[in-house]
Amino acid sequence: MERSRDATGLILMAQGVDSVGGNPDVKGNMQTSIASIAERQTIGRPAVGQTVSDPGLAVCIRGLSKHYVHPWTLRVTRGLDALDLDVRRGEVMGLLGPNGAGKSTTLKLLTGLLKPTHGQAWLMGEPVESTASRRSLGFLPEQPYFYDYLNGIEYLELAAQLSGLQAATARERARHWLGRVGLGERPRLGLRKYSKGMLQRLGLAAALVHDPELLILDEPMSGLDPFGRRDVRDLITEQRERGVTVLFSSHILPDVEMLCDRVAIMIGGRLTRVATVGELVDDGAQAVEIRCAPGALLVIPKHWAGRVSRTQRADESVFRLEDEARLGDVLGWLLQAGVQVRAVTPQRPTLETLFMAAAEAEHERRQA
């Protein structure tokens, strides 16, 4: 009995749970529950040495999941749920989603910072649990850690040598990238004196210093002013032109819209859509604005309520149609009423509009 009690205590301590005293049935149930959770967490782990056959893929993800178990209640939280995603070599893929969508969890699983509960993933054809998958990888985490007793050039030299470059090459690459990200004027400035934006630039330089084939960036625009964001966009564009694959997460929608070949929308740990920005926009209902000369205030028919609205301005009246399919009917109604139509302007939906609609739909689905 004493041996059983000790074994139970060790299992509970390993899970971060204090021993439950007094009732052996409680201990037994707790031990069984934790053992079953541990068993579930090993299901679907990729086999060491297994490779992906498609040479056109830089990132291949199959059924990737990450579940977190509360040490006291044993409640399971699904941080990522059965993700399937392919990123082609040479493309820029954006992971788009609100906080808690699973973007950072996905990137940490790909880079080996987290272990999956289920599923498999490969980088450049190599399973993510192997060191070979990280040889041609450049990674910028959301909150990178810096040795603040170093200066900028020393930090990049260290990053370059840790990536396998010889000392002379590392020194040359460090100088190049420090200047390329706009920090070259003061190469000996200690990192403890860097601003948040400067550190973000330095982290990006560290991810690029060894010329990786695959670049994974977690919120690369974080902490940057508009000029810094522009510089990062230029760097990502340059890397794409070099044939580098870029996978990055962001919630800054204009940057995603400008940079990405394709976008993966994630909400609540699930992948809801993968498409080009053009496909996403084309799938949305296109609104239309009709600008008219100021005149009599027409009463919009009741059967158009919620689908046609009017805004009165100083020098014109603007009618907005939420669906262009009604354009002919509304134009006929205006012309019949003697209204002078000045312009008809299609309103292309933005990625932000589509993303917010997808997020609201997912929220309603979860509440149902």
- Give the residue extent of every domain in the chain: 57-281, 288-348
> What are 34's two structure tokens?
């934790």
pLDDT at site 282: 66
> What are 90's two structure tokens?
């040479």
Spatial separation of the C-alpha atoms in residues 355 and 339, rounded to whole Å = 36
The CATH T-level fold of domain 57-281 is Rossmann fold (3.40.50)
Spatial separation of the C-alpha atoms in residues 116 and 171, rounded to whole Å = 37
Element at 334 (helix H, strand E)? helix 327-336
Residues of the chain with pLDDT under 70: 1-53, 281-285, 296-297, 348-354, 357-359, 361-368
Spatial separation of the C-alpha atoms in residues 17 and 25, rounded to whole Å = 17
Farthest-apart Cα atoms in the chain, separation: 95
Q: What is the pTM of this model?
A: 0.71
Spatial separation of the C-alpha atoms in residues 274 and 163, rounded to whole Å = 32
pLDDT at site 32: 36
Dihedral pair phi/psi, residue 129, rounded to 5°: -80, -5
pLDDT at site 95: 93
Dihedral pair phi/psi, residue 246, rounded to 5°: -125, 125
Name the region of 186 (left: φ>0; alpha: ψ -120 to 50; beta: rest).
beta
pLDDT at site 98: 81
pLDDT at site 277: 79
CB of 262 within 8 A of CB of 85? no
CB of 172 within 8 A of CB of 165? no
pLDDT at site 172: 95
pLDDT at site 128: 92
